[in-house]
Structure 1
Amino acid sequence: MKILVTVGTTRFDSLIKYLDELVLPSDMAFTFQIADGAYKPVNHPFFSFSEKIDQYYQSSDVIICHAGAGTIYKLLELRKRIIIVPNTERTDNHQLDIAAFMGNNGYALTVIDFDELFNALQQIKGIDLLPFEKHDFDKTGEILRFSVSGN
């Protein structure tokens, strides 16, 4: 199983270090996207950023990601199996909210405690996640009508 771990644009060294040091079965192969992280994995390949991130997404069976909205929605549109780990090292905790929403609604597995990650990797193979349906949001016409009518 090919597993991509992505942290987006903000470092998440504790997650990368934990997974890099995790003893895995031979059928699990990690690749890490570490942003500007200080921790450099020693047991698995890694990169900081890539213009070809979509290729990494497509070739991965499972993606472990931070709870960044842009990353999550992109992966859901691609119908990828995702495990969301909110980055609580950030100064704000908005990632907890989106992670809870996605996990509670069956779109992804959500893990708060790193010690649950191995079980989540075992579980994600056989779980039926709900497909996420994107709804276009375009209020341009409504805004123009409002502006022209003066209401």
Structure 2
Amino acid sequence: MDNNESKTSVFVTVGTTSFDSLVKTVDTDQVKEALLKKGYTHLIIQMGRGSYFPKKSNGEYGSLAVDYFTFSSSIADYLKSASLVISHAGSGSIFETLKLAKPLIVVVNEDLMDNHQSELAEELAERKHLFCGHPQSLYQVIESLDLDSIVPYEPGDATPVAKLINRHLGFPAD
């Protein structure tokens, strides 16, 4: 991607699973128009094992340029060049995006049983590190998106906890 594109691109990732409801939602005219209104011009969708294929578009006539792929050996370049990331609630995708200080909308997959991932996403949203929604509410999340309200995520230091565990287990202190 060139520099111009990176300023206005949205990257959607579903990880290695199937999350067709998210892919279908970002492929709706309603969501695409909301992204255009926010100034985004390109939408790149990593659709994983899903069976729904979004409509590709080259962005003519004032529409959003849309492209998709199933898997990549690394999504790091897509994350780095995106100006907004829309992701499933997997902790790896969440923390990789937060580490890059990219605005993030996490969409919870309600079809997963025992969805502990929603707890992480909701807690981080409550702390204002990201925005959280569900496929049916993504449009509203995008419409009310206020990137200035994001609080940068600062990872914690696990060293004191590791030292305490090591001491408890009888390992020598470093």
TM-score (norm 2): 0.75
Q: Contact 1:31 / 1:46 at 8 angstroms: preserved in 2?
A: yes
Structure 1: which 5+ runs fail to align?
A: none
Which deviates more from structure 2 when the two are superposed, residues 118-127 or residues 101-110?
A: 118-127
Q: Which of 78, 81, 96 is the equivalent residue of 1:59?
A: 81
1:143 maps to which residue? 166
Q: Deviations over 1:76-123 (max 9, x none)?
A: 1110100011111112211221121011111111112x3432332233
Q: Which of 9, 12, 15 is the equivalent residue of 2:22?
A: 15
Q: Which of 110, 127, 148 is the equivalent residue of 2:132?
A: 110
Q: Deviations over 1:111-136 (max 9, x none)?
A: 12x34323322333543201111123
Structure 2: which 5+ runs fail to align?
A: 1-7, 57-65
2:44 maps to which residue? 31
Displacement of 1:67? 0.8
Task: Report the count of equivalent residues.
Answer: 148
Cα RMSD between the aligned structures? 2.2
Q: Contact 1:88 / 1:95 at 8 angstroms: preserved in 2?
A: no
Displacement of 1:63? 0.5
Q: Contact 2:18 / 2:48 at 8 angstroms: preserved in 1?
A: yes
TM-score (norm 1): 0.85
Q: Which of 125, 131, 140 is the equivalent residue of 2:152?
A: 131
The residue correspondences of 1:48-87 to structure 2 (distance < 5 A) are 48-87=70-109
Displacement of 1:51? 2.2
The change in CA–CA distance for 1:53 and 1:142 in structure 2 (over 3 A counts) is: same
Partners of 1:148 and 1:117 lie apart in 2 by 48
Q: Contact 2:103 / 2:147 at 8 angstroms: preserved in 1?
A: no
Q: Is the aligned partner of 1:121 residue 2:142? A: yes
SS class of match (2:148): coil
Q: Contact 1:2 / 1:61 at 8 angstroms: preserved in 2?
A: yes
Aligned AA (1:130): V
